[in-house]
Structures are given as structure tokens and as C-alpha cells.
Amino acid sequence: DQQVKQNSPSLSVQEGRISILNCDYTNSMFDYFLWYKKYPAEGPTFLISISSIKDKNEDGRFTVFLNKSAKHLSLHIVPSQPGDSAVYFCAASNGGKSGGTSYGKLTFGQGTILTVHP
């Protein structure tokens, strides 16, 4: 039972353009969503997060949008840079940002390989 799905295994984008990575979830109890970036031979690193009480969160070139009714979130990277090339994982939890025993018990999607061409 895949509760978090990233349906696009890969995405190729030209430098300077927008990258849009998508994620769908099925568990309506999820209340906190995160994006992680992973380079080869490294562990995932936190990128940006959003609480279910918001529909948008911005951090520099990265913006996450949450559509609760559609159980869908997306990560926008503008402008895309070659250094952004990595695997991006969407993750969700029902423990909020810092409370509850469920925090840290993240459910991850399968990942999307983003390639940004110079």
C-alpha cells in the first residue's frame, strides 16, 4: 500500500526554467509534508516542508504547494540550476512538525530523478 506516490520517476529540465515535482498521498491523517533531496552516495537532506494548515511555503528558489482536497503536493524550483540535479523524495507524517510519537516516522515516495541541463 503506497501511501505516498511520486508518479514521475524522472524529470529533465533546462537550466533557468522551472522544475515541478509532484507527489500524491492517500492517507488523510497526514498533517506534515516534507521534501528531501538526495545526491549519490549521500543521505537525504531536508529541503522544505509544509504543514497541513498552509497551502504554500516558500524558501528562496523552492516553493511547496499543498492541495489537501486533491491530496497533492508539488515542489517548484525556480530557476533550476545544474546543481539541483538529484533525487527528490516527497515524505509525509501524521505527527506534526515536532509533536507526537509519530514525528519522524515518515512515509516516503519512491523519488523523482531531476536532471537540470546547462
Binding site for other proteins (CB under 8 A): 4, 6, 34, 36, 41-46, 49, 89, 91, 97-98, 101-111
What's the closest the beta carbon of residue 42 comes to other proteins, in angstroms? Answer: 6
Give the other-Cβ count within 10 Å of 42's Cβ.
9
Contact 84, 77 (CB under 8 A): yes
Give the residues across from 86 on adjacent strands. Answer: 114
Rounded Cα distance between 31 and 94, Å, is 5
Instruction: Please say which residue, 41 or 118, places its beta carbon nearer to other proteins.
Output: 41
Instruction: Please say which residue, 63 or 111, places its beta carbon nearer to other proteins.
Output: 111
Contact 34, 54 (CB under 8 A): no
What's the closest the beta carbon of residue 34 comes to other proteins, in angstroms? Answer: 7
Instruction: Please say which residue, 79 or 95, places its beta carbon nearer to other proteins.
Output: 95
63-90 CB burial, b ≥16 within 10 A, e <16: bbbbeeeebebbbbbeebeeebbbbbbb
Instruction: Please say which residue, 41 or 69, places its beta carbon nearer to other proteins.
Output: 41
What's the closest the beta carbon of residue 15 comes to other proteins, in angstroms? Answer: 27
What's the closest the beta carbon of residue 107 comes to other proteins, in angstroms? Answer: 7
